[in-house]
Amino acid sequence: MRIMLKFTIDCDVDTAWRALHSPRIVGELYAPLLQMQPLLPDGLPERWTPGDEVPVRLAAFGRLPVGTQLIHISDRTVDEPGGPVRILRDSGIPLTGPLGALDVWDHQMAVCAQPGHHGRTLWRDRLTFDGPTAALLWPVLWVSWQARALRVRALARRWARDPDLRG
């Protein structure tokens, strides 16, 4: 199963790329509905880096356990005619909870400069998942991804002013 989104956000591509690598920002994309809590004693890294494997617990409203997930980060850049596209990939896997029956989880977020619009970024988000409950989970994940897109658009306006994301 696949969910794909494509939209423009109001920040430059470098800021968007840094935001993708911030566990704090990623947490804000799902808040307040879901909160990501680290399972490792050292907590979440300050920045996601390629090769990171971080187990997290997801909790609804910070209290109700929803399950655990392994986040596995990789990066790549693809040269396209309009310029470079940077891709962050989480190829981890849900471990427990409602998503735990999935045996494929591939979440890729791509950013590139919006052609003809200085200071704006084209954001592409693709989630591929499969497993025995994938068809049942598709509507819930689709709605979640639409809400997530709204949060990305809303938060992107603030990222350019965030001192942790400035280059």
Task: For 99-109, write each residue's pLDDT tens digit.
Answer: 999 999 999 99
Residue 116: predicted pLDDT? 83
For the cut 80, the answer to whether the pLDDT of residue 166 exceeds it is: no
Main-chain dihedrals φ then ψ at residue 24, nearest 5 degrees:
-65, -45
Topology given in CATH for the domain delimited by 2-159: Alpha-D-Glucose-1,6-Bisphosphate; Chain A, domain 4 (3.30.530)
User: pTM of the full predicted structure?
Assistant: 0.93
Best CA proximity match to 104, nearest among 93, 90, 88, 116: 93
Residue 160: predicted pLDDT? 82
Q: Which of 61-70, 110-119, 158-167 has the lowest mean pLDDT?
A: 158-167
For the cut 90, the answer to whether the pLDDT of residue 167 exceeds it is: no
Task: Please give the mean pLDDT across all residues of the chain.
Answer: 93
- The token pair at 109 is 């977020």
What average pLDDT does this structure show over 68-89? Answer: 96
Cis ω on the peptide bond leading into residue 32 (within 30° of 0)? Answer: yes
Residues 55, 61, 64, CA angle at the centre, nearest 5°? 65
What average pLDDT does this structure show over 99-125? Answer: 94
> Considering the chain, what percentage of its residues have pLDDT values greater than 90?
83
